[in-house]
């Protein structure tokens, strides 16, 4: 899916890159463009940390959309071979719970609904989910983000984040309750406006691969 | 002049849970779907009324109360992100009410009846336990 393609101005790039480390897209046709990494004040090791799992890769690419508006499908890799090697090394380690693939259904609708601040809140939320999944080794294999309209209430549109677990329903339900507590901690770091966005526009549910465990 | 009895007397919405419980013993799909629907409305109406009484929420008594209440429940001084459970209850109820085909665990939005009832009770219990907003502050 193509998002807005406006190239950032040189001034914007300078401002962003004061605090970010560069990576660049793989595709030769755009290889002259250097894109900022989203990790503030990061060094090589920190980059590796954030690239440790597939989840973060995808999330970082998601941030790229917001910052420089490139296609999601573009693979990216750091300009420095040392960082690239570090990433490959880290990828060999434990991946449990962080291999979750994030997919967006009607991304443009989601972005329109959320606006710029909402996209940041969603980004923070997805990072939190990834961290939590990794911390507790959840069998989380997919995160689907979609825009939904309520079947009865006119103009009630929201973003639904569905977490797909390789577990039975009751276990997935427990994971979601644990996520609520993590989200409560996240809320304390958000502005009032961001809290409103999270509470009013972003909702969560689970789906499972196994049968419901109890009648 | 004698006062006419109301067509529908005043309701404590938690009474819907008793009806829902009774319906669980029946096997017809109409019965268990009605039970699931009543579980949702028991939670929604109780939350709406209790939160209004406790000054956390101002209802409009229109369909707008659904999104507004769902959002209000998730505020940190109310239920925090646990309030998302009321949203899940509604999402499941929408599926159960409007889909007439078989609904199984493979149906993404649906939830089993025992989950609907348990979740409705838990939400109500947490909302009942909230202090009045002024007392809290």
pLDDT band at B108 (very low <50, low <70, confident <90, very high): confident
pLDDT reported for residue A24? 37
* pLDDT tens, position by position, B21-36: 999 999 999 999 999 9
The pLDDT value recorded for residue A95 is 39
* Percent of chain A with pLDDT strictly greater than 70: 51
Q: What is the pTM of this model?
A: 0.72
What's residue A94's pLDDT? 37
Per-residue model confidence (pLDDT) at position B137: 59
Q: Is the ipTM of this complex over 0.85?
A: yes
Please give the domain boundaries of chain B with CATH numbers for all domains: 15-132 (1.20.120)
CATH 3.30.300 in chain A is located at 101-208
Proportion of chain A above pLDDT 90, given as a percent: 43
What pLDDT does A210 receive?
A: 63
Q: What is the pLDDT of residues A139-183, one digit of tens each?
A: 998 999 999 999 999 999 999 999 999 988 899 999 999 999 999
Most confident of A101-105, A148-152, B81-85: B81-85
Architecture of domain A101-208: 2-Layer Sandwich (3.30)
Higher pLDDT residue, A21 or A90? Answer: A90
Identify the residue with better confidence: A56 or B89.
B89
Nearest CB to B74 within list A162, A199, A215: A199
Residue A203 and residue B66: Cβ atoms within 8 Å?
no
pLDDT computed for residue B105 by the predictor: 73
Q: What is the rounded distance in angstroms from the CA atom of residue A126 to the CA atom of residue A110?
A: 14
Q: What is the mean pLDDT of residues B101-128?
A: 91
Q: Which residue has the higher pLDDT, A11 or A19?
A: A11
The predicted structure's pLDDT at residue A161: 97
Q: Which tens digit of pLDDT belongs to each residue from A16-47?
A: 433 333 443 333 333 333 333 333 322 222 33
Segment (H or E) for A24:
strand A22-25
- In chain B, the residue whose alpha carbon lies closest to the alpha carbon of A179 is B81
Look at residue A203 and tell me whether its pLDDT is greater than 80. yes
Residue A59: pLDDT over 80: no
Closest CA to B45 of B25, B16, B74: B16
Residue pair A103/A144 in contact (Cβ under 8 Å)? The answer is yes
Separation in Å, CA of A170 to nearest CA in chain B:
9
Q: Which residues of B20-55 are buried (b: 16+ CB within 10 A; e: fewer)?
A: beebbeeeeeebbbbbbbbbbbbbbbbbbbbbeebe
Q: Do B74 and A153 touch (CB under 8 A)?
A: no
Q: What are phi and psi of A146, to 5 degrees?
A: -145, 160
What is the predicted pLDDT for the residue at B2?
A: 72
Yes or no, beta carbons of B94 and A153 under 8 Å apart: no
Q: Which residue of A has its CA nearest to B99?
A: A151
Least confident of A104-108, A155-159, B8-12, B85-89: A104-108
- A173 contacts in B (CB within 8 Å)? 115
């Amino acid at each position: 899916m193509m998002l807005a393609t406006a190239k950032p101005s040189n001034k914007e790039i300078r401002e962003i890159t004061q605090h970010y480390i560069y990576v660049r897209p793989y595709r030769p046709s755009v290889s002259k463009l250097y894109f900022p990494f989203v990790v503030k004040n990061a060094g090589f090791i920190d980059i590796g940390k954030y690239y440790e799992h597939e989840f973060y890769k995808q999330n970082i690419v998601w941030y790229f959309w917001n910052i420089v508006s490139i296609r999601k499908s573009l693979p990216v890799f750091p300009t420095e071979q040392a960082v690239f090697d570090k990433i490959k090394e880290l990828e060999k380690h434990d991946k449990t719970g962080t291999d979750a693939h994030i997919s967006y259904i009607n991304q443009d609708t989601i972005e329109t609904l959320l606006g710029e601040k909402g996209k940041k809140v969603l980004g923070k939320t997805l990072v939190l989910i990834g961290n939590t999944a990794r911390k507790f080794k959840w069998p989380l294999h997919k995160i689907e983000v979609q825009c939904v309209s309520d079947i009865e209430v006119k103009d009630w549109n929201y973003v639904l984040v569905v977490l797909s677990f390789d577990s039975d329903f009751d276990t997935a339900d427990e994971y979601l309750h644990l996520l609520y507590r993590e989200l409560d901690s996240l809320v304390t770091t958000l502005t009032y406006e961001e809290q409103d966005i999270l509470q009013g526009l972003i909702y969560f549910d689970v789906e499972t691969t196994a049968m419901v465990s109890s009648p | 002049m004698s006062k006419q009895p109301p067509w529908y007397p005043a309701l404590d919405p938690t009474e819907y849970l008793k009806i829902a419980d009774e319906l669980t013993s029946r096997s017809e799909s109409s019965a268990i779907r009605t039970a699931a629907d009543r579980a949702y409305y028991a939670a929604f109406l109780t939350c709406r009324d209790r939160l209004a009484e406790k000054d956390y929420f101002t209802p409009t008594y229109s369909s707008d109360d659904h999104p507004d209440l769902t959002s209000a429940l998730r505020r940190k001084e109310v239920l925090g992100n646990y309030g998302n459970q009321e949203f899940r209850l509604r999402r499941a109820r929408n599926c159960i009410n409007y889909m007439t085909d078989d609904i199984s665990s493979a149906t993404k939005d649906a939830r089993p009846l025992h989950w609907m009832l348990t979740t409705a009770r838990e939400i109500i219990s947490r909302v009942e336990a909230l202090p009045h907003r002024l007392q809290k502050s």
